[in-house]
Amino acid sequence: MVLTRSDLWSLEEYAAERAAFRQRVIEHKRDRQVLVGDHLLMIFEDELTIRYQIQEMLRVERVFEAEGIQDELDAYNPLIPDGRNLKCSLLIQYEDVDERRRRLAELIKIEDTIWLEFGDTGRVYAIADEDMERDTEQKTSAVHFMRYEFSDEQISAARSGAALVIGVDHDHYAVEPVVVVDNVRGSLVDDFA
């Protein structure tokens, strides 16, 4: 799925639709989020979440020209799953500023250690931050964009109801793997076209 200009509302149309659309997206996102441990929030993107993000960017930036709209589409379309993968935004969340600074320094490359597994088909690690590097030698970013590619066997297991487990293999973030609840697992499996 790739969004085009014809999938979007004009700024005027969006102003009229925004409240209802926003509520729909908030409800939709509830079934597309997984908290791993206390501080890693994975928000799995799809056509609806990305369409909302584009509409919001166009609204905030007051973009109405064709070239500007296309720039936003080009920036966000890569975050929509293509039927063989799952894509997510990873948010590393620490409320206390000093703790956040310290932990981001310890969690460099954490995005490369987060895995997904359907049943016993083998762990799949993220391909992270394809648009730009988000780690430095001193710290990692609080936001990462990740893509998980699955084999036919893994997709078949997912469609057949295999449990989805998410884990982290980072030395500085020791948490038990999370078994994803059925409503979230079901929403993510719908991404496999």
Q: Check: CB of residue 166 under 8 Å from CB of residue 148.
A: no
What letter represents residue 102's amino acid? Answer: R
Is the pTM for the entire model greater than 0.85?
yes
Q: What DSSP designation does 186 have?
A: H
Q: What digits encode the pLDDT tens for the residues 22-49?
A: 999 999 999 999 999 999 999 999 999 9
Which residue's entry shows tokens 């908030």? Answer: 26
Q: What's at 35, amino acid-wise?
A: L
State the angle between helix axes of 47-61 and 11-30 in degrees (0 to 180), rounded to the nearest 10.
140
Token digits for 20? 């209802």
Other C-beta atoms closer than 10 Å to the C-beta of 33 total: 15
Using pLDDT thresholds of 50, 70 and 90, give the confidence band for residue 133: low
Model confidence pLDDT, tens digit, residues 142-151: 999 999 999 9
